[in-house]
Amino acid sequence: MIARTWRGWTRRDDADAYLEYVRETGLKAYRATPGNRGAWALQRDDGDRTEIVTLSFWDSLDAVRAFAGENVEQAVFYPEDDRFLVQRELSVRHYRLEE
């Protein structure tokens, strides 16, 4: 199994609205992709900003590819991300889950 993470930061005042947007775009798209085992958003306030982390689990990198395209290391963005994000990672990280 593969874990996929991405991080971005919003103004603290925008955090709730952005989390709702992430639920309706990225998390919904993750969960609709065959091979996805679940997706969550984490948040952490840090001064006047809020860090948002998406965490998703996948059967394989091929399943991730079905969501993200051929370059699985490149983050996927949605039209309103520019309105909310004050900083973002342009790439994602993948981890193998070992039992």
Query: Mean of the pLDDT values across residues 10-20?
Result: 97
CA–CA gap between residue 93 and residue 73 (Å, rounded): 7
- The pLDDT assigned to 16 comes to 97
- Tell me the domain boundaries of the chain: 2-96
Strand segments (E) across 19-64: 36-46, 49-58
Query: Mean of the pLDDT values across residues 14-32?
Result: 97
- The pLDDT assigned to 73 comes to 97
Q: According to CATH, what is the number of the domain 2-96? A: 3.30.70.100
pLDDT digits (tens, 9 = 90+) for 53-93: 999 999 999 999 999 999 999 999 999 999 999 999 999 99
pLDDT digits (tens, 9 = 90+) for 28-53: 999 999 999 999 999 999 999 999 99
Tracing tokens 């070992």 back to the chain, one arrives at: 98
CA–CA gap between residue 83 and residue 67 (Å, rounded): 23
